[in-house]
Amino acid sequence: ISEDIDDRIDLGPAWVWPQFQPRLSQLLGELKIDLFEQYTQGRMLYEQSSQNIQSHTGPSSHSQSYRISGGAEKLTGALTRRLNDASIFTGTPVSAINQSTLNILTTQNKQHLTFTADHIILALPPRITLQTIKFTPPLSNDIVQLWKDTPTWMAGHCKLVFIYNSPFWRKQNLSGEVFSHQGPLSEIYDGSPDHKKQHTPYFALTAFVGLNAAQRKSITSEDLIKQSMQQLHRLFGDESQNVIDIQTRDWSEDPNTCSSIDLHGVPQHPQYPEDMPRFLNNKKIILAGTELARENGGYLEGALESADEAISILTD
């Protein structure tokens, strides 16, 4: 959408709750990355059916929600710049780990590379680890079952972002927030960049698709966008059709995010097991990632929480 890192839009995790996420708030402060409040001014819309659309005033479900100015990539970029380039291997997926020797088999440009580690920290979702990495000797049946039972939150979801030159919904005294039982978009919110900046190059409505991964495969992407545009017209009128770009991200199609089990999705935020083992092989292999967080599983805060615990195990 924009080459400017400060103008990008999140197609993955977007919201931050500083009052509940102290680690993330502290890290953003250290990196001098700003937050801005989610736009919630105006009325919300509820679509019970295509013939029954109601507007309401009142507390937004996104009140006290914030987003990262410049998007989550601003955070990952700042963290990457802290690291030595020689220590980062991109495009080098791990395919096998020997638990006895700590040899790590990877592939880079179709060539096999083997690394030997003193310790390994796995920051993948457990289901992705099972699906992509072969362990020798094999993992125990108990560990395999635990990892299979650990969902990757939001892995099977799809997001659409509709880009506009102006925030016409705000002029209608609408917040952009929509909840719909009709669909295909089940939830919509104002996904515009930081509106406090002097120059906002575009505005956006960001939407979650209400169809699950299997249902989405039954229609073409063109049909999904066509039906979504029809829904926006029902909700917001003619101006909603003046879209200048549409960005789509179906996370169920990303093999590094969504496992075959995650395609079925979960109806609500999962409760991650507190008794999940945090290490294997006498602490030589340590588990991290937001799914391993004891209190904030599935959130950005959970990634930092599990990282803290992984470092504690490593240095114990």
Q: Which domains does the chain have, with CATH numbers?
A: 5-76+154-253 (3.90.660.10)
Q: Is 267 exposed, middle or buried (0-12, 13-18, 19+ CB in 10 A)?
A: exposed
Structure tokens at 188: 């919509």
- In this prediction, residue 194 carries a pLDDT of 85
Dihedral sign (CA 169, 62, 202, 197)? positive
- In this prediction, residue 272 carries a pLDDT of 87
Q: How far apart (Å, rounded) are the C-alpha atoms in residues 207 and 57? A: 20
- Tell me, what DSSP letter sits at residue 63? T
Q: How far apart (Å, rounded) are the C-alpha atoms in residues 73 and 37? A: 18
- In this prediction, residue 133 carries a pLDDT of 97
- Tell me, what DSSP letter sits at residue 218? T
Helix, coil or strand: residue 174 = strand
213 within 8 A of 252, measured Cβ to Cβ:
yes
Helix, coil or strand: residue 222 = helix
Q: Give the pairing type, strands 111-116 and 120-122.
A: unpaired
- Residue 3: other Cβ atoms inside 10 A: 6
Segment-wise mean pLDDT, segments of 10 residues, the chain, 316 residues: 61 90 97 94 92 85 88 92 89 95 92 94 96 96 95 94 96 96 95 76 93 91 96 97 96 94 85 87 94 94 96 93
Output the pTM of the full model.
Answer: 0.90
- Residue 190: other Cβ atoms inside 10 A: 22
Residue with tokens 């059916």: 49
- In this prediction, residue 1 carries a pLDDT of 47
Please confirm whether the linkage preceding 22 is cis (ω < 30° from 0).
no
